[in-house]
Amino acid sequence: MSGEKLSGGCVCGAIRYELDNTPAFVAHCHCRDCQRSSGAPMATVIAVPRSAFRKIKGETASYRYTGDSGNPVVRHFCPGCGAPLFSDVAVMPDLWFVRVPSLDTPDVVAPGMHVYCDSAQPWDISGDELPRFGKLPG
């Protein structure tokens, strides 16, 4: 699927974006902020180069917090429907982190790992064979 254009947006349609399907990686993130912002035990994200991501409609609202790295993370969401959309993570300044469920065709990407498993909820047990990392790999 590399090179294919993908599009997505929020539930109400006020925010739209497109990206080239050139992921740096796709992961299930179990950090506490992903849990809280998604209302689920994890959030699935596709990390794409900044040059591959374009906002094409609407303006997001955002909030900023300090991530586990001690660096800022800015979460973008729709101010109308509240749908979480993408994040700007200072520790990885060349990437955008896009919420996979916000894609129009989320089935075209597949997670390759679980990250921040140190924060995973004990009742959230996945039977997949994907690699698991306590924080980020590397």
Burial of 111-121, coded b for 16+ CB within 10 Å and e otherwise, reads: bebbbbbebbe
How far apart, in whole angstroms, are the C-alpha atoms of residue 96 and residue 55?
A: 11
Q: What kind and span of H or E run contains 72?
A: strand 72-77
What pLDDT tens digit does each residue of the chain (138 aa) get? 456 899 999 999 999 999 998 899 999 999 998 999 999 999 999 999 999 999 999 999 999 999 877 889 999 999 999 999 999 999 999 999 999 999 999 999 999 999 999 999 999 877 889 999 999 887
Length of the chain equals: 138
Domains and CATH numbers, the chain: 5-119 (2.170.150.70)
How far apart, in whole angstroms, are the C-alpha atoms of residue 12 and residue 79?
A: 10
119: amino acid identity, one letter: S
